[in-house]
Amino acid sequence: MLKSSGEPLTVLAKRFLEPSNATHRQYEALRAYFVEGLPSHAAAARFGYTPGSFRILCHQFRHDLTRSFFLPSPKGPRPTPGRDRIRETVVTLRKQNLSIYDISRALVAQGTPRSPAAVSMILKEEGFAKLPRRHDDERPAGPHGTVAAVADVRELDLSPRQIRTQFGGLFLFAPFLAQIPLETIGRTAGLPGTRMIPAAHASALAKLDPGVLARNGPL
C-alpha cells in the first residue's frame, strides 16, 4: 500500500492503514470515505470491500451514528495475576454447580476471601446465569440448617418418672397452673390451633415461631 503521494508506508503508518481486525478495518474504511473524502469505490478497494458491501456498510453507519468502534478503558484497578487466578477459580467452581455462597466459602478456605456479592459479579461478567433452586440432596457437603422436630401435644408422655433439676421450685406452681381452664379460654378467645398444637399451646408457640401452625396442618 502506498501513500497518496506515492511514497511507501512506514511501519507505524501500516498499523493504522492495514487493520488487523474487522472493527478496525470498518473504522478506517468509513473514515477514508467520510473524513478524507475518498470516493466510495476507492475506499472499498483500499480496504478490501466490494463496492456493494461497502455501500451497505455506509448505509448501516448512517443509521447508527452512536456505534462505538473503541472499547472504553476498564475502570478500577488493572487485573493482576492474583486476580486472574481467583477469577479462574470462581469459574471452575461454578462449572461444578456450586452456588455463590459455596464458592465464597471455598475461596475463604483457600486464603483468598471474596464475598458472595463479589463472586456474583465475577460470574455475571463471565456470562453465567443464576443456578436453579436445588434440593438439599443436590447441595455439596457442608453445614446446613437443622430441621426442628414437629411439635405434637399427642406425643406428650406423662407417665410417672423421676428427674433431677436445680429448678424444682417451679413445679410448686404446677397445681395452680393446672386449675387454669386454658382450653376453654383458648376456644372462647378464638385462638388458632390444630390437633397437634391446641389453641392453649399455640398462642405461646406462635410468639416463638409464627410458622409453627402452618407446618402442623389445619384443624
Three-state SS string over the chain comes to CECCCCCECCHHHHHHHCCCCHHHHHHHHHHHHHCCCCCHHHHHHHCCCCHHHHHHHHHHHHCCCCCCCCCCCCCCCCCCHHHHHHHHHHHHHHCCCCCHHHHHHHHHHCCCCCCHHHHHHHHHHCCCCCCCCCCHHHCCCCCCCCCCCCCCHHHCCCCCCCCCCCCHHHHHHHHHHHCCCHHHHHHHHCCCCCCCCCHHHHHHHHHHCCCHHHHHCCC
Residue 6 in contact with residue 21, Cβ under 8 Å?
no
- Residue 218 has a pLDDT of 44
pLDDT of residue 76 exceeding 50, the answer is: yes
d(CA 103, CA 107): 6
Q: Residue 107: which pLDDT band, with cuts at 50, 70 and 90?
A: very high
d(CA 33, CA 52): 14
Q: What angle do CA 139, 142, 146 make, to 5 degrees?
A: 90
Average pLDDT estimate for 40-45: 91
pLDDT of residue 33 exceeding 90, the answer is: yes
Number of Cβ within 10 Å of residue 33's Cβ equals 21
Which amino acid appears at position 77 of this protein? P
pLDDT of residue 212 exceeding 50, the answer is: no
- Residue 80 has a pLDDT of 58
Residue 18 in contact with residue 1, Cβ under 8 Å?
yes
- Residue 7 has a pLDDT of 56
pLDDT of residue 139 exceeding 90, the answer is: no
The dihedral region occupied by 6, where left means phi > 0, alpha psi between -120 and 50, and beta the remainder, is: left
- The residue with greater pLDDT, 94 or 151, is 94
- Residue 204 has a pLDDT of 55
- Residue 40 has a pLDDT of 93
Q: Residue 39: which pLDDT band, with cuts at 50, 70 and 90?
A: very high
- The residue with greater pLDDT, 136 or 85, is 85
pLDDT of residue 184 exceeding 90, the answer is: no
- Residue 34 has a pLDDT of 92
Average pLDDT over all residues of the chain = 76
- Residue 203 has a pLDDT of 56
pLDDT of residue 95 exceeding 60, the answer is: yes
Buried b (16+ CB within 10 A) or exposed e, 57-93: bbeebeeeeeeeeeeeeeeeeeeeeeeeebbebbeeb
d(CA 173, CA 167): 12
Q: Residue 79: which pLDDT band, with cuts at 50, 70 and 90?
A: low
- Residue 213 has a pLDDT of 46
- Residue 137 has a pLDDT of 62
- The residue with greater pLDDT, 141 or 119, is 119
With a pLDDT cut of 70, the percent of the chain lying above it is: 74
- Would you list the domain boundaries of the chain? 15-62, 81-138, 153-216
Average pLDDT estimate for 151-175: 82
